Amino acid sequence: MRLEQSGVGVIRTAAVRERAGRKARLAAKVRARAVASYLTILVPAWAAEDRNVTITGGADASGHTYTWRVANLGASSIVEVRFPHYRAGLFFAPQSWSSECTALVHVGVKNEPGVCTARAGSPGEGIAPGRFATFSMQVAPAGAKRGRGEATVRLADGTEMRVGGVELPQAEGLGDKYVSLIGLGLVFMIFILAQAIRKRRKPAMPAGGGPAGERGFRSG
């Protein structure tokens, strides 16, 4: 009888421990989901989306040629890359890729922001995982400035990512356009003011024509 009671007690203890283990595992899953949701709210969208792609490079010393290196750190090939631009004249994609641009610089075409898009002919011609490709752009000599923006990348599995912090040619603002004129105007005003102060500090001339403090002598 005691053996039977002892066996029942062991079974009950095991059952209680199993139920406690299931509750603990369920609680851990709930906490993990809550933490994941919290992190999703805190992390910026672009930072979450561009973790598998890096884009480095930008303008050269002249500011007229932009070169970017797009590296694939993910598991799916990159088959499309889009670069926003302002006043681009030429765009170069990797060999076997097609390219097209909107708002390129042409006579009679209004200056406005555009986008240059490069597409791979097939996933096999795209940027494979662990590989990189180079893209470049020629920009008109005037009217554009360097700035930070977002490029867009599409993967073979259909996922699109926005990569932030990419150096791109952007439209100049009113301050950028007139900063040189404002600077010249300030220099001119300072020059005029300096001339006026210098004239006021010169010694006054007496009526006799000689410097102040000198006296003429009368003859006999």
The answer to whether residue 187 sits within a structural domain is: no
Whether residue 62 is found in the same domain as residue 164: yes
Question: Nearest Cα to 105, choosing from 114, 118, 93, 117?
Answer: 114
Whether residue 28 is found in the same domain as residue 106: no
Whether residue 102 is found in the same domain as residue 26: no
The answer to whether residue 180 sits within a structural domain is: no
Total count of domains within the chain: 2
Question: Nearest Cα to 166, choosing from 89, 74, 18, 56?
Answer: 56
Whether residue 88 is found in the same domain as residue 148: yes
What range does the domain containing 14 cover? 1-42
Whether residue 59 is found in the same domain as residue 89: yes
The answer to whether residue 66 sits within a structural domain is: yes
What CA–CA distance (Å, rounded) separates 44 from 162?
11
Tokens of 213: 């403090």
Tokens of 67: 């070169």
Whether residue 119 is found in the same domain as residue 145: yes
DSSP 192: H
Q: Which residues contact 160 (CB under 8 A, 6 or more apart)?
A: 152, 153, 154
pLDDT for the residue numbered 141: 86
Question: Nearest Cα to 118, choosing from 92, 156, 85, 89?
Answer: 92
Tokens of 179: 């900063």
- Dmax over Cα atoms in the chain, in whole Å? 160
Whether residue 77 is found in the same domain as residue 139: yes
Whether residue 33 is found in the same domain as residue 57: no
pTM assigned to the model? 0.61
Residue-by-residue DSSP string for 29-98: HHHHHHHHHHHHHHS-HHHHHSTTEEEEEEE-TTSSEEEEEEEE-SSS-EEEEEEEESSEEEEE--TTEE
Residue 100: strand pairing partners: 117
Whether residue 59 is found in the same domain as residue 130: yes
The answer to whether residue 182 sits within a structural domain is: no
Whether residue 55 is found in the same domain as residue 113: yes
Whether residue 122 is found in the same domain as residue 30: no
**DSSP 3-state assignment of 205?**
coil
The answer to whether residue 67 sits within a structural domain is: yes
Domain end, chosen from 136, 154, 174, is at: 174
pLDDT for the residue numbered 24: 67
pLDDT digits (tens), the chain, 220 positions: 544 455 545 456 656 566 766 766 666 655 645 544 443 333 333 333 468 999 999 999 999 999 999 999 999 999 999 999 999 999 999 999 999 999 999 877 889 999 999 999 999 999 999 999 999 999 998 889 999 999 999 999 999 999 999 999 999 886 655 555 566 667 777 878 878 788 777 665 555 555 544 444 454 4
> In CATH, what number is assigned to the domain containing residue 82?
2.60.40.2230
The answer to whether residue 207 sits within a structural domain is: no
The answer to whether residue 147 sits within a structural domain is: yes
